[in-house]
Structure formats: C-alpha cells, structure tokens
Amino acid sequence: MKKISQTKFHIIFIALSYSFILYAQNEDTLSIEMNKFNFEINNYGSIGAIKSEWPDQPQFDEGDMFDLMGFAISGVYNNEIWANGILNGDNRIMDYIPGNVNANPQDEKNKIYVVKTTDKDFGESWQEWKKAVELGANFFDGNKDGIYNPIDLNDNGKWDYNEDMPDLLGDLTAWCVYNDGLPESEREFVGMTPKGIEVKQTVFLSASPNAGDLENVFFVRYEIENTGIISEVFDSVYFAFIIDADIGDYHNDIACCDTNYQYGITYNYDENEESSESHSHFLSKPPALIMYPLQSPYKFIPGETFIDNNSNSIFDLGIDAPLDSTVLYRGQLLQSKIILGSKKLNWNAFSPYQKWYSALRDPLNEIELRNLMLGGRYNDGKMFTVSSFDTSYTVFNDSLTNSNSVNPTFVLSGDPVINSGWLYKYSNDFRMLISYGPFTFRKNESHEVICAIIGGRGEDRLSSITEAKRIAGVVKEIYDNNFTDLPVGIKENKNENIPAQFTLEQNYPNPFNPSTTIKYSIPNNTVMLNSFQHLNNSEIPNQVRDDNANVKLIVYDILGREVAILVNQKQKPGNYEVELNASNFTSGVYFYRLNAGDFTQVKKMILLK
C-alpha cells in the first residue's frame, strides 16, 4: 500500500435544491495511490482526474490511464425523456451533489468514509463509520442486533465474528452518498430537473504485495435508488457505465468491445506514434484498459421471471410465483441479496463515442445521450452497421462472416489482437459507454451494480490486450465467488493445505442434468481470524479455539422451500465437494446455500431436463 490522502475544500455557488433552499456545496476529495493506480474520487461521483490537469491524470504504472469514470441514467417521466449522469467530455456533465436526497449538501457528514485493513480494530475509522451507516452504508452485524456498534465485546483487542465491523472489501473501502439534486440552472442539459435519484458509491481495491493480479484492478459499486420524491415509477430506464480512457496521450487510443464477456477495451493506437516527452517511455509498452461490468441492473418480466397471478405486471411477493431470481454479491462478510422474480440484464449496447467523429461525439442533451445508450447515432438514434459506418474510419476483416449479421448495438466488436471483425482504423479520444435496459424503476427500488477497471501491460500494445483479458478472467472468478478470494494485506498462511477463507464455488456443470458437483472450503478459526483481524502471535480466545465448523449445505427451490440437505454436521478445516443428484427434481432454477458459523453464501443453479 502506498499512500492515501484526503483533502476537503468548498465550491461555493448559489442554487435551488428540491425544497428551494440556498446552499453552498461541500466537496471532499480523496487521493488514492495504491498498487499500480493513482487516482482521485470526490463525494459526488467523480472518479479519476478531479483536481489534476492533463497530463497529470490517473496513473497506471508510471503513465496515464484514464481521465474520468462515471455513469448515466435515462428514463421516461410524463411521456418525456430525461437523462443525467457523471460523464466526461468537452462539457463535463456533473448532475449530482453530496448527501442523501433533500439533505443539506453542505453538511460535513457528506464526506468520503475510508476504512482499511491496516486500521486498528474498533479504532477511529470504525467509529467514524457510524456516520456512514446513518447515511445508508452497509456494515457487518456481528451480534445480530440490527445496530452498528463496533465494540470489543470479547475484550481481546481484536475483532471476532460476533462483533460489528464496517463493510470492508479488499484492503481499502471508500464510501460516499450523493444525489441528482443539482438544480436545472446549473446543468449542462437544458431543462433537466432532479429526479430524486440517490447513489451510494463504494470504491474498493487490494494492496500490494499480496494483491497478485488485482494490483491491476479497482472496483466501483453503485447502489442506485429511486427515492420516489419525484415519481413512484420511471419507465424505460437505462443505466450505463462510462469511462474516458486516456492511455498516454489522450488522442492515441482506439476502443473495441468483447461481446463474449460483455466488456469494453481501450488500447493504444501505435506505440511508435509521436507522443509527448512525458509519455515516450510509458508508450514503448503501452497498457490496455478494460471496463468490465460484473453486476448489472435487474428486471421483472411477467411470464418469464415470475407468474403474474394478479395480472398487474408487478411482482408482488406472496401473491406472484417467482420463476427466476437475481443474486447480488456483497462480499464474504455481508450476505448475498436475493431479488425474487427478477433476472440480471445483459448489456444493451456498447458505444465508443469520441471527441472528433461526428456520428459518435459527446452528447449535448438528454436525447443525444439516450441515443448513445441505445447503441445508435447521437443525432438521430439510427443503428450503426458495418456497411453504413463510414468506411474511411472502420474496417471489417472476416471472410467467414457477413458483416450485415454483426449486432449493430455493439459498435467495434472486433478483435484487434488477431485483426478480425469490426475495427476502427485510426486513433481518437475515445470514451466507452456500456448500457443496460430497459427496466422499470419503482419507488424505493435499488439496483446494486459493480464494475471493475482493469489495466494490463504486455510487451506491446496488442499483448497488453491479451494480458488485460487474462486478468479480467481472474476478476470474474473472484466476483462469481462473492469476492471471497479478494486478497487482503494479511500474513501468509504457512499451512498451504488449510484454506485461507470460506469459499462456495459455482456448481459444475451448470446448467446440469441430473447430477452436479458443489465444492466449498472451510478454514480453521486461526486462519479465519488472521484473514479478518490481521492477528499477530497473540493468544486466540477460548470461544474460537474449536477449529471444527458447524456446516450446512442446503438446496432450495425458486419459492425458497428446502428441497435437499446435502451437509448438516461439524467439519474440520479443508476442501470439500458433494454431488447433488436431482433425478427427482423438476426442471428450473434452484439455490444452494452454505452456512458455516457466521459465514453464509448463496449461489444459483439451473436444472434442465
């Protein structure tokens, strides 16, 4: 871990909030220099170069990597399209202010809350997290009383599983909350007003030297809520992750996407191209950047994700029958959240918009932004095709595939490493936008979305793409295991045969018929406490001396009914696997849950007969 610095200053302006109160906005900025990354975040949604000016941008290794990361939301209200966001371009769009909806943005509580693995258990950062919880932050409720109160109940100077702690992911977690309360008069999009959207943002990453491949990665989680202040329902809503990747000199980049894994890639146009003196060494082996959405918004679909028994097109728990469910991963400490009757959305579009190409330039109003989120041209929304795209800018290299069969909503879906598919010819100042939708956004609904920003560096610009893709595979596996493999700065386990942490793996095969295998791992309590407490050689309390864990592995149907108990006994530390034979089950979605001590994790599997 290198350094983390936090500064606070004020940007003063006069504006009207929802309740027409004059205010002065309080900005809190956090600078993070960890592993290979060096970037800034603030308390109203900017991630990247906030106070810095080019070329002093966010860095990866010794060079520049990206300018700003953000998001966009668009929907329909009163038959009119609205859109807002935090996105970079010639006109930076910043529609959010610190704090909860209708709160005073000047309140000093509206800051960035930071907790690290190196912080003292029950120390200052843990106590400060109480304010974050008041604003809506998550926490681990060790004593199960529903209240965050980080007290050393066992009086041993170290955290134990029956004690509360902050929602700490990786080696550093930075959390804040903001809302789209910027008044109409201050917005780039003329006529756009606040919609009562609240965002709880978490940035987390692992530190060297134990991070391994994750020294090339940081994660961003947005919990996005419609508070219902303006409308109980927003229709036809789209959400998009956005990043302005600037690898070295900002104009030397090309973007593309991988439709198999649903992520965007920015790579350097030519490492031999003339560049500024500050970047010449860096660009001799230019890295590639991947924006990898791991968790997307969900959608309720009558007849597909639930049986609409009362025919109101809304999933009503206890009335309608769920046919599918969304599992939201929150890390090893917090239980996964299950949204019955829904499913995660696949990406809707990839739009590599840019500064100088007229058909894909920066959006100047809500209609142009929505067109990009739909995968079309900013000005008229028409879909691109390989043949209709200006051939002076792109090329299609695939003799086995008809270019007209390429999905037009995923622009530049070729593979530059093998020079195949739909590719851009020249460098430009690209931004990458990946969107999801449409979905209905109801009052008090929240969508927890997660994106990883990945840097990969090989021996040249193309091998860097290959390296970034390899790391992306590692990141996806860590996400699929609910971040239980997320490395933290702890002492190494000297016994390599004992798992370092609880894990529940995805069943294999999946889908299956009729049998599948489920693997899981149980650490001993000493390793478990080392992982979360960063113990030295102090004595372990008597109440956690027993290495055997009470383990339950249970299978549930889509209605939450218990259909099979696979394991229900004490087990020693080790790696286990169990086979499920579902010959007597009907086809459909099932869940399996591992309970071991206070550890709980749920995964979904599909039986197809």
Reference 454, options 201, 167, 258, 252; nearest CA is 258
- Least confident span in 251-255, 393-397, 475-479: 393-397
- Asked if residue 434 lies in contact with residue 240, where contact means CB atoms within 8 angstroms, the answer is yes
**Per-residue pLDDT tens for 400-432?**
677 878 898 999 999 999 999 999 988 889 999
- Distance between CA atoms of 94 and 365, rounded to whole angstroms? 13
- Distance between CA atoms of 150 and 122, rounded to whole angstroms? 6
**Per-residue pLDDT tens for 500-523?**
778 899 999 999 999 899 999 888
- Quick check: 90 pLDDT over 90? no
- Asked if residue 178 lies in contact with residue 43, where contact means CB atoms within 8 angstroms, the answer is yes
Domain extents in the chain = 3-242, 503-607
- Asked if residue 490 lies in contact with residue 310, where contact means CB atoms within 8 angstroms, the answer is no
Per the structure block, which two tokens stand in for 101?
Answer: 């909806």
Amino acid (1-letter code) at residue 593: R
Q: Give the three-state DSSP class for 478.
A: helix
- The pLDDT score that the predictor gives to residue 17 is 31
- Distance between CA atoms of 505 and 323, rounded to whole angstroms? 23
Reference 193, options 26, 77, 71, 27; nearest CA is 77
Amino acid (1-letter code) at residue 57: Q
| Residue with tokens 């309390």, as numbered in its chain | 541
User: What's 493-541 look like in SS3?
Assistant: CCCCCCCCCCEECCCECCCECCEEEEEEEECCHHHHHHHHHCCCCCCCC
Task: Tell me the whole-structure pTM to 2 decimals.
Answer: 0.83
- Distance between CA atoms of 586 and 246, rounded to whole angstroms? 51
DSSP 474: H
R_g over Cα of the chain: 24
| Residue with tokens 């991947």, as numbered in its chain | 290
Amino acid (1-letter code) at residue 442: R
- Quick check: 282 pLDDT over 80? no
For strand 421-424 and strand 37-42, is the pairing parallel, antiparallel, or unpaired? Answer: unpaired
405 against 209, higher pLDDT: 405
User: Which of 26-30, 91-95, 132-136, 596-600 ranks highest by mean pLDDT?
Assistant: 132-136
Reference 605, options 519, 516, 521; nearest CA is 516
User: How far is CA 82 from its chain centroid?
Assistant: 24
What is the number of other CB atoms lying within 10 angstroms of the CB of residue 598? 17
- Distance between CA atoms of 383 and 380, rounded to whole angstroms? 9
Q: How does the average pLDDT of the chain come out, rounded?
A: 85
- Asked if residue 70 lies in contact with residue 88, where contact means CB atoms within 8 angstroms, the answer is yes
**Per-residue pLDDT tens for 334-384?**
878 889 999 999 999 999 998 766 678 899 999 999 999 999 888 888 888
- Distance between CA atoms of 83 and 75, rounded to whole angstroms? 7
The CATH code for residues 503-607 is 2.60.40.1930
User: What's 79-115 look like in SS3?
Assistant: CEEEEEEEECCCCCEECCEECCCCCCCCCCCCCCEEE
- Distance between CA atoms of 573 and 559, rounded to whole angstroms? 32
Give the residue ranges of DSSP H helices in 311-437: 366-373
Q: How confident is the model at residue 59 (pLDDT cuts 50, 70, 90)?
A: confident
- Distance between CA atoms of 68 and 86, rounded to whole angstroms? 9
- Asked if residue 544 lies in contact with residue 590, where contact means CB atoms within 8 angstroms, the answer is no
